[in-house]
Amino acid sequence: MNATSISELLGKLSVYPVTVQLARIDGKRWAHIAGASTTSAEEISLPHRLQLDEHTGLILRGWGALTAGQRAEIEELLASGKSSTTHTAVS
């Protein structure tokens, strides 16, 4: 996934009440690249991991608090960029 499409995606996700981290995936390691580098302890929630391609993923916190409609919108948002990426919910 290229930098422009990631940047566009992060911009579109910014309207939702989730914190988003971009991660580089190396095996089991999801390493922080950008976004929410100091996740507030007040915003602790189960991380929802979305794998965009072999080496890139998004970690969303606050997923559990989204409405079903908001989740569907995000899923659709990611699916709409499918020409440049695919995504898989990891957890």
Partner 1 sequence: MTTILEKPKAQQWREGRIKPEQMAKYLQNGRDFIDDDAIEARLRPTAEPDAARIRAIIAKAKAIESLDLDETAALLHVKDPELWAEMRQAASEIKHKVYDNRIVTFAPLYLSNVCVNSCLYCGLRRENSAVARRTLSLDEIRSETEILAGKIGHKRLIVVYGEHPTSDLDYMLESIRTIYDVKVPARRGHGQIRRVNVNAAPMPDEELRALQAVGVGTYQVFQETYHKATYRAVHPVGTFKGDYNWRLYTLHRALDAGMEDVGIGALFGLYDWRFEVLGLVAHALDLERAIGVGPHTVSFPRLEPAENTPFNEALRWQVSDDDFEKVVVVLRLAVPYAGMIVTCRENPGMRRRLLPLGCTQTDASSNIGVGGYQDAEQHGDRQQFLLADTRTLDEVVRDLASMGCITSFCTAGYRCGRTGQCIMDLLRTGAEGKFCKLNAVLTFREWLDDFASDLTRAAGEPVLQKEIEEIRQKMPKAFPEFMQSYERICAGERDLYF
CB atoms within 10 A of CB 33: 13
CA pair distance 4, 69, nearest whole angstrom? 26
Identity of the residue, 28 or 82, whose beta carbon is nearer to partner 1 in the bound complex: 28
The residue count for binding partner 1 (CB under 8 A) is: 23
CB atoms within 10 A of CB 25: 17
Identity of the residue, 26 or 76, whose beta carbon is nearer to partner 1 in the bound complex: 26
3-class state of residue 66 by DSSP: coil
47 binds partner 1 (CB under 8 A): yes
Chain positions contacting partner 1, by CB under 8 A: 21, 23-24, 26-32, 37-42, 44-47, 49, 59, 64
